[in-house]
Structure 1
Amino acid sequence: MSNAVEDKPFLIVGSGTETVAPGLHILRGQGQSFVAETDAGLVVVDTGPGGSVTQGMLEAVRRLSDAPLHALCFSHGHIGYNAGLPQWLAHAAERGDAPPRVIAHRNVPRRLARYRETHALQQRMAEIQFRRPAGFFAQRLPLHAPVETFDEVLAIGQGERRIELRWAPSETDDAIALWSPAQRVLYGGAALIDSIPNIGTPFRTLRDTVRWADTLDALAALGPRLAVREFGPSIVGEAEVQHVLGHTAHALRWLRAEVVRLMNEGLGERELLARIHLPDELFGVEWMKPAYGDPSYIVRDIYRSENGWWDRNPTSLHPEPPEAVGRAVADAITDKQAVIDQASALADQGRVQLALHVIDLLATADGAAAEIAEARRLKAAWLRQRAAEVSSYVSRNLYRASADMLEQGTQARFSIR
């Protein structure tokens, strides 16, 4: 049984800074944060996850400049990116500086209220998605509220060192970008990553595919000569920025149109996933690879945006408890070994996903019968095999976390108990 997790820190991309233009710097921590030197003082986007990582970020900034902190800004409202806020505020106080402004988009407080209400759920989802042991995030998901919010655009500073914070709804409805008009440098935050846009992740609420495309078009319309991503290398040159952002927006709109077309033909979610074909010229380029998310996730989110929760099987309208269903199905199978043999034969043929569908006839049942235990063991092994076959970081972790739970006897139901 393997419960090991990767040693690589949670979403940490490195340390230190990288100057991309005079007075404009990437600040590495949880993702790539950003620092702008303005005539009002330093503007920092994202304070990091806290602890030693945030301390390292602070020290890196002080190697750049001794100017006071003017503003600490939330790139978006996801938990963790600004867990280090108290350390930055304490740093300013220790220097005898005025308290920096703490700025976010006006939608962030609403998101934080949701997260407070569902704190145990958020903690458990993070443990599974990032494959961490139970309780790992108990002290790692502090919520710190902004002091000041804005709607569309907020300017800071004057003249050549003026910067703008711009609403950039994308992964969240509270994401922002930072724009330097004089130097034509864009920090895209959560709207810009080096893989397919993170839409439709299995544990998250709906994300608007077309709105993300609209944001990319709006950012491109600014005419950046350099665009800094939240994750991944910067996009250099005006033509390349236009190409990457425009291409991504076009691919997202194509996906929306194709899913709608298939829904209008009457296809359900699983039928649609089986039918849809992703053109390589749109989805085969490097920055659309499924390194974190996956295009099938986006398909599901688009489908969910126009459909209810029902999978169109009338049996699922008013279901029995999962434990009762699993037990009844297993009891109905008189030759359980035949199920195991059939699933194993499919796996041997390389049809591991189909083998998983078959083995679930037994693997979801309660009890200590030898065939049930064997089904769970096989399912865990095949989940690890599937994890090695997919590109998406999220999919890999969900497969592996599910296998961990099966081997621990918790049946991979993602209970928050």
Structure 2
Amino acid sequence: MADLLTLSARYIDGDIYEGAGLVNRPTMELSELGNGIALIEAFSHVVTFKTGDGLVLFDTSLEAFGGGVLKSLRGWTDEPVSNICYTHGHADHVGGTGAFVCEACDKGRRRPRIIGHENVSPRFRRYEKTNGYNFTINARQFAPATELRMGQGAPEGPRRFGPDPWVEPDTTFRDRLDVKIGDTHFDLRHAIGETDDHLWAWVPEHKAICSGDFVTWVFPNAGNPQKVQRYPLEWAKALREMIAMEPELLLPAHGLPIGGKARIASVLDNIATALETLVEQSLAMMNAGARLDEIVHSVKLPAALMDKPYLRPVYDEPEFIIHNIWRLYGGWYDGNPANLKPAPDAVLAAEMAALAGGALVLAKRAAALVEAGDLRLACHLAEMAFLAAPADVQVHGIRAEVYGARRKAEASLMSKGIYGFAERQSLNIVAEHNQG
């Protein structure tokens, strides 16, 4: 059993970063963190409390992890699961619930009560309406290139996003729910941040907070370019409310648990400050009349924050959050009149290729820009070349090289996923041509 609290203290106190894989570890290993408290490290962690009236779980991880989580839990205790609290309705937090429901049925036990915010079920309905879209973007974001069908961005098999079926909450609340289960109180509080259906919990007997995805040991996922609206300022507000509780144990859904009142307060304050700074600077420029393009390329966070081991941009990144701030406060118009009702991308690309002397000229210029280190501009020209000549194998070969270089240069999983998808798309065209 790993000493997770000692490990997190080492990283935080020493400002040590040794890679995301050492703090987000889907090992299925259970670690006891206190009297009757355990955390199972999975794709999303499962936190459990012994209450004297059954186990209370916070989240159940992905559907594929449910059986492994249950096995690890049963290596610790055979007490029945009486309650499952969803911190929010993302698939990696609720997907494993079916394993616990089935166990209760098989053992003739009462079905666990499922507690969640009232917006969890509407989230599930939205996922059902957008199943194909969510399946594709999650495969593009998470699956390694070796596991993707080249050019498709999704593994073989049924195009199902999320568990089958989604296990709905049977107890919901809007703002706050206080429940006593056995000898333990759970003060469940709604807050918006990564989602609109999120809760965090204060457990006074243990001076503990279950923070869900409000703390993830990576830069906050408040800007994901392929997902719905996030709320960075409200996220920061929730973190400051947690600080006010003076917790001595912080139990996140990703990353390492944290012990110590001062240490926890410092971590929460730094995360909140990073989000508040992005919002403050972005809104100041919006109010001064700046375009989105100006804000994206101007607003930066100080290295003192970005270098924290729990704020590295290896999943989401500040630049993406700025886009979400603009969308939240300013709508979708980016301030560039040409983008209000633009020409189709392919038509603009064809015109630029004609002016340059052909799509291949644009592609070769893109390759030269890669060599010069200007990857942003290189991607623009490579994509224009592709749109202007979508069947040109030479263009595709250069496009693959450009996006391959961009993928390798990026830190965040989101950027790597999108650029890698474009790279594989063109590699697929080249491969099909060579085979023919």
> TM-score, normalized by length of structure 2?
0.85
1:375 aligns with 2:389: no
Partner of 2:179: 155
Query: 2:130, 2:358 → 1: CA distance?
Result: 43
Deviation at 1:333, TM superposition (A): 3.7
1:203-252 per-residue CA deviation (whole Å, 9 max, x = no partner) reads 11111111000110111111111112221122221001111101211221
Partner of 1:120: 132
Aligned with residue 99 of structure 1, among 111, 118, 123: 111
1:47 aligns with 2:60: yes
Deviation at 1:92, TM superposition (A): 0.6
Greater displacement, 295-304 / 122-131: 122-131
1:81 aligns with 2:93: yes
Query: 1:395, 1:101 → 2: CA distance?
Result: 39
Query: 2:297, 2:185 → 1: CA distance?
Result: 50
The answer to whether the 8 A contact 2:53-2:181 is kept is yes
Partner of 1:71: 83
Aligned with residue 366 of structure 2, among 337, 343, 346: 343
Query: 2:359, 2:211 → 1: CA distance?
Result: 54
Aligned with residue 407 of structure 2, among 376, 379, 387: 387
The answer to whether the 8 A contact 1:105-1:167 is kept is yes
Partner of 2:259: 236
The answer to whether the 8 A contact 2:236-2:276 is kept is yes
Query: 1:278, 1:252 → 2: CA distance?
Result: 9
Partner of 1:261: 284
Partner of 2:141: 129
User: Residues 367, 341 of structure 1: CA spacing in aligned structure 2 closer, same or farther, 3 A cutoff?
Assistant: closer
User: Residues 135, 166 of structure 1: CA spacing in aligned structure 2 closer, same or farther, 3 A cutoff?
Assistant: farther
Query: 2:198, 2:29 → 1: CA distance?
Result: 24
Aligned residue for 1:188, secondary structure, equals: strand
Aligned residue for 2:408, secondary structure, equals: helix
Amino acid at match of 2:137: M
1:37 aligns with 2:50: yes
Count of residues in correspondence between the two structures? 396
Partner of 2:16: none
Deviation at 1:407, TM superposition (A): 2.2
Partner of 2:33: 20
> TM-score, normalized by length of structure 1?
0.88
The answer to whether the 8 A contact 2:215-2:253 is kept is yes
- Aligned CA RMSD, in angstroms, stands at 2.2
**Relative CO higher for 1 or 2, CA cutoff 8 Å, sep ≥ 6?**
2
Amino acid at match of 1:318: K
Amino acid at match of 1:376: H
The answer to whether the 8 A contact 1:38-1:156 is kept is no
Partner of 2:433: none
Task: Structure 2 unaligned segments of length 5 or more: list them.
Answer: 1-20, 149-153, 431-436
Greater displacement, 238-247 / 273-282: 273-282
Query: 2:269, 2:379 → 1: CA distance?
Result: 39
Query: 2:265, 2:331 → 1: CA distance?
Result: 36
Query: 1:243, 1:137 → 2: CA distance?
Result: 45
User: Residues 242, 331 of structure 1: CA spacing in aligned structure 2 closer, same or farther, 3 A cutoff?
Assistant: same
User: Residues 25, 178 of structure 1: CA spacing in aligned structure 2 closer, same or farther, 3 A cutoff?
Assistant: farther
Greater displacement, 206-215 / 327-336: 327-336
Partner of 1:413: none
The answer to whether the 8 A contact 1:43-1:70 is kept is yes
1:374-399 per-residue CA deviation (whole Å, 9 max, x = no partner) reads 23222221212122212111111111
1:30-55 per-residue CA deviation (whole Å, 9 max, x = no partner) reads 2111111112211112223224x211
Query: 1:87, 1:389 → 2: CA distance?
Result: 40
Partner of 1:270: 293
Query: 2:161, 2:40 → 1: CA distance?
Result: 21
Query: 2:213, 2:390 → 1: CA distance?
Result: 45
1:406 aligns with 2:426: yes
Amino acid at match of 2:85: C
Deviation at 1:367, TM superposition (A): 4.3
Poorly superposed stretches of 4+, deviation over 4 Å: 134-137
